[in-house]
């Protein structure tokens, strides 16, 4: 029994989920239950992947920064990335919307358009609607494994290569540029196009390399997840699930860090701090919300060529003590990323 005075903010997300999971019913239809990027459910004629993620106003997006179109795109992508991270492709989505009554109808139709554009060719087949004080968008996606086994978080083995597909740190850079006022959210860019600042765009309308998920599965990826909460935090999830250590090579992240240095300087100039030499590195290591795919591959697969656009960023080793994530063989001196209840 939980101490009745314990509050949600006394736990971290993993601890809260550990209280919930044992209470949930399972059944013969469950192939993969709670704990991975998506569940796998057995249907009479096969299996399907299902996953759900929510976006909450002022937690994930601000309405003075994001249009309905942006939020629609983002709601789709963060869910599609979970399907891709299982090695599947999306087939259909349902969307639940909570909106205040004084919200412009255009905002809602913009959301529907953004959701539709980012989801294609998957269908949007329904949802739910409610009023509330703030906008909440919850999307559920179903995916098809095309006859392959799902790629779980737990499959990394010592000797595997750690690889990443997509961008790292660009969404966090965009968020910080907006937060400090170094970038304007729209700069005149209309919905559906226009020259948004590239990092602001990465935050408002993330792009996930969705096709790389099934490609990784076909190439023999041993484990995979999408990076939503930060490279170090999500790599830690692969490490714990597999009982291994992931050793990330700083030099492999060098180009990502260098590309973000001008934005880091912009933030320093705008905020008037003396220049934080590690800001760009922190974005890359702990940023999250780019929804790139982090996967592990057997060394022989890496030797013959990783599926595009995966690139190696480290190796899997035996967990000496507890499973962990290292940076060049050492414990990283950086907060690993996002946790909703330990901000």
Ligand X SMILES: Nc1ncnc2c1ncn2[C@@H]1O[C@H](COP(=O)(O)OP(=O)(O)OP(=O)(O)O)[C@@H](O)[C@H]1O
Residues of this chain that interact with ligand TPS (CB under 6 A) are 53, 59-62, 78, 175, 228-229, 288-289, 338
Cβ-based nearer residue to ligand TPS, 54 or 265: 54
The token pair that represents 224 in the structure block: 């995979």
**What's the CA gap between 216 and 169, in Å, rounded?**
22
Cβ-based nearer residue to ligand X, 35 or 127: 35
Residues 184, 196: contact at Cβ < 8 Å? no
Residues 343, 255: contact at Cβ < 8 Å? no
| CA-derived radius of gyration, the chain | 20
Query: Which range binds Mg ion by CB under 5 A, 61-69, 75-83, 141-149, 235-243?
Result: 75-83
DSSP secondary-structure letter at 8?
G
Question: What element of type H or E holds 274?
Answer: none
Choose the contact partner of 207 out of ligand X, ligand TPS, Mg ion, none; CB within 5 to 8 A by kind. Answer: none
Choose the contact partner of 289 out of ligand X, ligand TPS, Mg ion, none; CB within 5 to 8 A by kind. Answer: ligand TPS
Binding residue per annotation — 170? no
Choose the contact partner of 61 out of ligand X, Mg ion, ligand TPS, none; CB within 5 to 8 A by kind. Answer: ligand TPS
The residue within the footprint of Mg ion, chosen from 32, 39, 40, 53 (CB under 5 A), is 53
Query: Which range binds Mg ion by CB under 5 A, 18-26, 226-234, 267-275, 295-303?
Result: 226-234
Binding residue per annotation — 91? no
**What's the CA gap between 72 and 93, in Å, rounded?**
12
Backbone phi and psi for residue 180, each to the nearest 5 degrees, phi listed first: -90, -5
Q: Does 35 bind ligand X (CB under 6 A)?
A: yes
| CA contacts within 13 A on the Cβ side of 207 | 9
Query: Which range binds ligand X by CB under 6 A, 29-37, 67-75, 186-194, 327-335?
Result: 29-37
What separation in angstroms does the CA of 107 have from each of 63, 70, 203?
Answer: 10, 10, 18
The token pair that represents 283 in the structure block: 């974005």
| CA contacts within 13 A on the Cβ side of 213 | 33
The token pair that represents 318 in the structure block: 């035996």
> How near is the Cβ of 202 to Mg ion at its closest, in Å?
17
The token pair that represents 284 in the structure block: 């890359």
The residue within the footprint of ligand X, chosen from 78, 167, 208, 324 (CB under 6 A), is 78
Number of residues that bind Mg ion (CB under 5 A): 6
Q: Is the peptide bond before 273 cis (omega within 30 degrees of 0)?
A: no
Choose the contact partner of 36 out of ligand X, ligand TPS, Mg ion, none; CB within 5 to 8 A by kind. Answer: ligand X
Q: Does 290 bind ligand X (CB under 6 A)?
A: no
**What's the CA gap between 19 and 99, in Å, rounded?**
30
Choose the contact partner of 60 out of Mg ion, ligand X, ligand TPS, none; CB within 5 to 8 A by kind. Answer: ligand TPS
Which residues here bind ligand X, judged by CB under 6 A? 17, 20, 24, 34-37, 53, 78, 82, 228-229
Residues comprising the binding site? 37, 51-53, 60, 82, 127-128, 153, 226, 228-229, 289, 338
């Amino acid at each position: 029994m939980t101490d009745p005075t314990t509050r949600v903010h006394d736990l971290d997300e993993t601890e809260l989920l550990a209280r919930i999971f044992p209470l949930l019913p399972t059944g013969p239809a469950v192939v993969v239950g709670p704990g991975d990027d998506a569940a796998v459910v057995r249907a009479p004629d096969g299996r399907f992947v299902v996953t759900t993620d929510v976006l909450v106003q002022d937690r994930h997006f601000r309405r003075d920064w994001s249009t309905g179109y942006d939020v629609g795109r983002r709601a789709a992508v963060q869910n599609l990335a979970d399907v891709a991270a299982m090695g599947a492709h999306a087939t259909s989505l349902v969307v639940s919307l909570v909106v205040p009554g004084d919200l412009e109808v255009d905002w809602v139709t913009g959301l529907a358009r953004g959701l539709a554009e980012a989801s294609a060719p998957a269908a949007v087949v329904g949802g739910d609607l409610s009023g509330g004080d703030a906008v909440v968008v919850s999307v559920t996606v179903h995916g098809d494994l095309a006859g392959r086994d799902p790629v779980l978080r737990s499959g990394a083995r010592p000797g595997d290569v750690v690889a990443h597909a997509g961008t790292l740190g660009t969404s966090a850079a965009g968020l910080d540029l907006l937060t400090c006022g170094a970038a304007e959210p729209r700069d005149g860019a209309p919905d559906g196009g226009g020259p948004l600042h590239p990092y602001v765009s990465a935050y408002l309308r993330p792009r996930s390399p969705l096709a790389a998920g099934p490609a990784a599965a076909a190439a023999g990826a041993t484990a995979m997840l999408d990076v939503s909460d930060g490279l170090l935090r999500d790599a830690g999830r692969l490490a714990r699930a597999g009982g291994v250590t992931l050793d990330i090579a700083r030099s492999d992240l060098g180009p990502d860090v260098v590309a973000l240095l001008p934005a880091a300087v912009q933030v320093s100039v705008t905020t008037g701090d003396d220049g934080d030499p590690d800001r760009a590195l922190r974005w890359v290591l702990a940023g999250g919300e780019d929804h790139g795919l982090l996967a592990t591959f057997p060394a022989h697969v890496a030797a013959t060529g990783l599926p595009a656009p995966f690139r190696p960023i480290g190796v899997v080793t035996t967990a000496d003590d507890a499973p962990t994530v290292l940076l060049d063989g050492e414990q990283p001196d950086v907060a690993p990323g996002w946790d909703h209840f330990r901000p």
